[in-house]
């Protein structure tokens, strides 16, 4: 992934907010953007430590918050009382199907949903900056999740 544009955006955000510009913050940015799945702060911290990066847990947490404020990351809560993050950088808006048993997350986009969101916002004089739709249920293909359950 080409992160040069994201680095420039984050650098500009840090300067405008008069935040310290440190190499560790950019290490967190790069690691977060290269995470292929939704992740928690501790997961990112452990991954970075396993890659022998010199980083503190506090720096990871604080930088994730700054990256969210900057718009490069998005915070998600999938009903597990745990904040998860995903990249917002060069990504289209999408929604999630979440298995209540195994926790798997399937991302999808549907133009009909996006149209409904736009119509509802317009009808109510509302300017959209983003939205999140999470649908909870069970994986039907996984026998331990939903295939043998009666709903």
d(CA 138, CA 140): 6
Supply the DSSP symbol for 119. Answer: H
What are 148's two structure tokens? Answer: 């043998």
Highest-pLDDT range among 19-33, 34-48, 85-99: 19-33
Residue that wins the pLDDT comparison between 135 and 147: 135
Q: Residue 85: which of 144, 100, 70, 149 has the closest Cα?
A: 70
How big, in percent rounded to 5, are the helix, strand and coil portions of the chain?
45, 15, 40
Do the Cβ atoms of 83 and 97 come closer than 8 Å?
Answer: no
How does the average pLDDT of the chain come out, rounded?
86
Structural domains of the chain sorted by starting position, each given as residue range(s) with its CATH number in brackets: 1-91 (1.10.10.10), 94-139 (3.30.1490.190)
Rounded to an integer, the average pLDDT of 44-57 is: 92
- What's residue 1's pLDDT? 55
What would the pLDDT profile of 95-111 be if each residue is shown by its tens digit?
888 888 887 888 888 88
Transcribe 41-88 into DSSP letters.
HHHHHHHHHHTT----HHHHHHHHHHHHHHTSEEEEE-SSS-EEEEE-
- What's residue 147's pLDDT? 59
- What's residue 65's pLDDT? 93
- Residue 88 confidence (pLDDT) above 70: yes
Please tell me whether the overall predicted TM-score, pTM, comes out greater than 0.85 for this model: no
d(CA 102, CA 144): 8
Number of helices and strands (H, E) in the chain? 5, 5
């Amino acid at each position: 992934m080409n992160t040069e544009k994201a680095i420039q955006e984050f650098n500009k955000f840090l300067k405008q907010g008069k935040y310290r510009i440190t190499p560790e913050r950019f290490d967190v940015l790069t690691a977060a953007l290269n995470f292929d799945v939704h992740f928690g702060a501790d997961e990112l911290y452990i991954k970075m430590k396993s890659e022998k990066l010199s980083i503190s847990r506090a720096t990871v947490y604080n930088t994730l918050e700054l990256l969210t404020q900057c718009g490069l990351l998005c915070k998600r809560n999938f009903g597990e009382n745990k904040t998860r993050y995903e990249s917002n950088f060069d990504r289209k808006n999408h929604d999630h199907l979440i298995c209540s048993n195994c926790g798997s997350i399937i991302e999808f986009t549907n133009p009909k949903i996006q149209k409904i969101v736009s119509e509802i916002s317009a009808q109510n004089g509302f300017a959209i900056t983003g939205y999140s739709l999470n649908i909870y249920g069970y994986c039907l293909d996984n026998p331990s999740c939903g295939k043998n359950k009666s709903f």
